[in-house]
Amino acid sequence: MSLRADSVLRVRWWLSFTSDGARCRGPAAGNGDLVPIVSTGNTAQVPDEPVLRCAELTRRFGERLAVDDVSFSLDAGEIYGLLGPNGAGKTTTIKMVCGLLEPDGGTITIGGRPAAGDLSVKSLVGYVPQDVALYSDLTARENLAFLGRLYRLHGALLEERVSEALELTDLSDRAGDRVDSFSGGMKRRLNMAAGLLNHPVLLVLDEPTVGVDPQSRHAILERVQTFGRGGMAVLYTTHYMEEAERVCDRVGIVDRGRLVAEGTRRELVARLGQRDRIELGAAGDLERLAAAVRTVPGVESADTADHAVHLVAEDGRRILPAILEAAERAEVALNSVDVVEPDLEAVFLHLTGTALRE
Amino acid sequence: MRAIAIARVSIRRIVRDRTALFFIVVLPVIVILIVGAAERGFTTFRVGVVDLGAGQAGRQLTTAFEHSSDLAVSRYATLAALRKAVARGELNVGVVLPSGMDVTEGRGGTVAVGVMAEQANSSQQAAATAVSSVIAGQGAKVQAARFASVHGSGTFEENLARAGSLQPHVAQVGLRSQTADSSHNVLPEGFSYSAPTMLVFFVFLNALAAGASIIETRQLGMYERMTAGPVRRGTIIAGETLAYFTMALLQATLIVVVGGVAFGVSWGDPLAATVLVALWALVGAGAGMLSGTLFHTPEQASAIGPTAGIALGMLGGCMWPLAIVSSTMRQIGHLTPQAWAVDAWTSLLSRSGTISSIAPQLAVLGAFAALFLVSATVRLRRVVA
């Protein structure tokens, strides 16, 4: 599957008009530079406001606090990743942004305007849910045409938008085929195409690569980067560290409903100082090994995941002999020892005390 | 317009489903044809005859039965065999010709011809009436022969033969009956019976089965996707209602057209029939949507929905007239909307009813439609949310 190099140019002008015809902030050219906002009508964006601002968002499900005082903002052309394990509160946050859940507390503004209950604000958002949400017994084109009509698109404009979305996701040649004949990766791409029909100012992607093959994953990530370069604001959730590192301009780390840190990759890694991440592969009792190495001076955290013990330690190379001794005392035979340069995984481990799991 | 888009996509999905199309279009027409043809066959009654005397009078009466166009006659050798056939339902009635008929007739006495029929069974009672009519005709010939032999010349046997040969040439005293105060409480026979009852039956049954579509849409996450866009929940509900109403109306219209054109069914007063069809489509739409919110999986809706539709159709008089069941069952049947719809069709087809004469039935059906639609809307709002 190939990706089109001219997609940036296509995305560029999408952001000039919403589906309701109101003008919004958008890039002037394919290089992604932003132009001042020109406001006309009530759907336009307020000048100097971020595309998305979430302030002190809170959401409970019964006794469980799913989202706890989460605040972040997102500008045009920026890809913001919410990174965290399953159940951390990413999807709940996204559903509140898209108006699918009411927050118990806090505010959400999109284009400077409160999102709550405003259908014209919803027109600015493209939502790509985690599970493929398409009629499997309709063709790709029929699905997109239906969803386009919900955004009041019709006639030649609808045809044009559907064709564009299919082209952007490399599905033009399968437009007339039923969705149930598609591979998992193709369904994912069509799922994404459906979120692009209204030329959104904000594209919300909820774990768009879950369960797809590496080739499709690569294609989806490349496409998301293209949208960002084209000036679209993208809110992206994932629990894959490498995706967040590759795609996102800024990352918010979410754990147990709280946004524990946010920033660019560089900013987040800098929080670790001289700390390293060490992975100990072992065949024996990993919990026992983790407990043993936690006693080593310099080891800040140790957690087990994916048949290994993950450590964050100051100056990892210096204390490596002490760690090996601790493993020997614990009578656990090591298979491998990797000292990894600081990355988001290490940041997550440092901030939450646990490794990010699949 | 968004509601229309939602309705269009729902209808497109149903129409594209070949199984659903079979149940919506093909099966009702087949069932109307079969039930209509079978119901027509009731006008020829199966009669069994056992002649215990084996005399001339018995032979003549048996021949008279055989010449009747209303009766299909089978002869039985023993009374036990006849009883068995009646009990098994192989015959509508059994006729027992006693021994000594010739002697009794010749003497001018009374011959008691036994007729075996179930008193509570309307078709058996109708068959018994047809048998009595033939016996009465034969009795008239015997009476004429006796009169001639007493007051004229010739023996009884000679005069009986003459009465038989002269009967076709004697001017008949015609009896013409007209119903002045009609109180027909069953639908006409044949296709005029099967078409309206199957309309009521299949529109409701298929609507219940189509509830699976709402469940699938929810499971696919399409409602979530719609509400993430600029679509209100009310718009989604309006779209689904429009889809279910349109499908029910299309099916009902198809049955009306096929019934009228292919089977010659007269649907009665056009205005009343149109209102009745539209109201029944609303009842079906509400029931279908409710089914889509009550069941958890499409498989449940597809399996339980039609089963419930068949049961309600039976109770409501779609399979047999409620006039032939006990009053208790008739009252239970009128807890279903089907019974009121069949009552309304009966009024239109059997009593030349108008919209004012079926107003009570329309009011009850309106209440059912409102109940189903309001319940479905409340539940669907939760589903969409």
ipTM of the complex: 0.73
Contact A149 B2 (CB under 8 A): yes
| Nearest neighbour of B220 by CB, restricted to A100, A119, A134 | A134
Place of tokens 């100051």: A314
* Residue B226 forms contact with A (CB below 8 Å): yes
| Nearest neighbour of A150 by CB, restricted to B5, B13, B221 | B5
Q: What is the mean pLDDT of chain A?
A: 81
Question: E strands, chain B, where?
Answer: 45-51, 71-76, 93-97, 114-116
Q: How confident is the model at residue B184 (pLDDT cuts 50, 70, 90)?
A: low
* Best mutation target, B220, B223, B231, B233, to test chain A (most A CBs within 10 A): B220
Instruction: Flag the least confident range among A238-252, B8-22, B129-143.
Output: B129-143
* Residue A178 forms contact with B (CB below 8 Å): no
Does B185 have pLDDT greater than 70?
A: no
Cβ-Cβ contacts under 8 Å for A101 (sequence gap 6 or more)? A59, A92, A95
> What is the b/e burial string over A192-221, where b = at least 16 CB atoms within 10 angstroms of the residue's CB?
bbbbbbbbbbbbbbbbbbbebeeebbbbbb
Place of tokens 């032939």: B324
Question: E strands, A48-187, where?
Answer: 52-61, 64-74, 79-83, 105-110, 113-114, 125-128
Q: How confident is the model at residue B32 (pLDDT cuts 50, 70, 90)?
A: confident
Helices then strands, each counted (H, E), chain B: 17, 4
* Residue B233 forms contact with A (CB below 8 Å): no
Q: pLDDT value at position A2?
A: 39
Q: What is the mean pLDDT of chain B?
A: 84
Q: List A275's β-bridge partners, or say none.
A: A314
Contact B220 A147 (CB under 8 A): no
The alpha carbon of B193 is separated from its chain's Cα centroid by a whole number of angstroms, namely: 5
**Residue B134 near residue B140 (C-beta atoms within 8 A):** no
Q: Tell me: the pLDDT tens digits for A183-213?
A: 888 999 999 999 999 899 999 999 888 878 8
Count of pairs with CB atoms under 8 A, one residue in A, one in B: 70
Q: List A64's β-bridge partners, or say none.
A: A61
Does A139 have pLDDT greater than 60?
A: yes
Residue B15 backbone dihedrals phi, psi, to 5 degrees: -65, -30
CA distances from A350 to A69, A268, A324, B124, B215 (A): 21, 11, 21, 90, 44
Contact A127 B9 (CB under 8 A): no
Q: A36: burial class by Cβ within 10 Å (0-12, 13-18, 19+)?
A: exposed
d(CA A168, CA A176): 16
Contact A137 B221 (CB under 8 A): no
A184-193, A208-217, B37-46, B171-180: which is most confident? A184-193
Place of tokens 């009121």: B340
Nearest residue on chain A to B230, alpha-carbon basis:
A119
Token pair listed for A283: 């065949």
Instruction: Flag the least confident range among A234-243, A257-266, A336-345.
Output: A336-345
Q: Domains (ranges, CATH) in chain B?
A: 2-39+188-384 (no CATH), 44-169 (3.40.1710.10)
Q: How confident is the model at residue A352 (pLDDT cuts 50, 70, 90)?
A: confident
Q: pLDDT value at position A56?
A: 93
Closest CA to A200 of A16, A73, A72: A16
Question: E strands, chain A, where?
Answer: 52-61, 64-74, 79-83, 105-110, 113-114, 125-128, 202-206, 233-238, 250-255, 258-263, 275-282, 299-305, 308-314, 334-340
Residue A127 backbone dihedrals phi, psi, to 5 degrees: -115, 125
A119-123: which pairs have CB atoms within 8 A and are 24 or more residues apart?
Answer: A119/B230, A119/B231, A119/B232, A120/A20, A120/A22, A120/A42, A120/A43, A120/B230, A121/A43, A122/A98, A122/B228, A122/B229, A122/B230, A123/A18, A123/A19, A123/A20, A123/A43, A123/A151, A123/A198, A123/B229, A123/B230
Mean pLDDT to the nearest integer, A277-287:
87
Does B145 have pLDDT greater than 50?
A: yes
Q: Tell me: the pLDDT tens digits for A231-245?
A: 899 999 988 888 888
Cβ-Cβ contacts under 8 Å for B350 (sequence gap 6 or more)? B182, B184, B185, B186, B187, B188
In chain A, residues under CATH classification 3.30.70.100 are 274-341
* Residue A150 forms contact with B (CB below 8 Å): yes
* Residue A198 forms contact with B (CB below 8 Å): yes
Q: B11: burial class by Cβ within 10 Å (0-12, 13-18, 19+)?
A: middle
Q: List A105's β-bridge partners, or say none.
A: A58
Q: Give residue B45's identity as a one-letter amino acid code.
A: F
Cβ-Cβ contacts under 8 Å for B63 (sequence gap 6 or more)? none
**For the domain A7-268, what is the CATH superfamily, name and number?**
P-loop containing nucleotide triphosphate hydrolases (3.40.50.300)
* Best mutation target, A149, A150, A162, to test chain B (most B CBs within 10 A): A150
| 3-state class (DSSP) for residue A278 | strand
Q: pLDDT value at position B260?
A: 87
Residue B193 backbone dihedrals phi, psi, to 5 degrees: -90, -50
Token pair listed for B368: 């059912």
The alpha helices in B43-187, defined as continuous H runs, are 56-67, 79-87, 101-107, 122-151, 156-166
Q: Provide CATH code, domain A274-341.
A: 3.30.70.100
Token pair listed for A328: 């020997």
> What is the b/e burial string over B235-253, where b = at least 16 CB atoms within 10 angstroms of the residue's CB?
bbbbbbbbbbbbbbbbbbe
Contact B9 A138 (CB under 8 A): yes
Q: pLDDT value at position B175?
A: 47
Q: Which of residues 75-134 of A touch B (CB under 8 A)?
A: 98-100, 119-120, 122-123, 125, 127, 129, 131-134
Q: Tell me: the pLDDT tens digits for B214-228?
A: 999 999 999 999 999
Does B178 have pLDDT greater than 50?
A: no
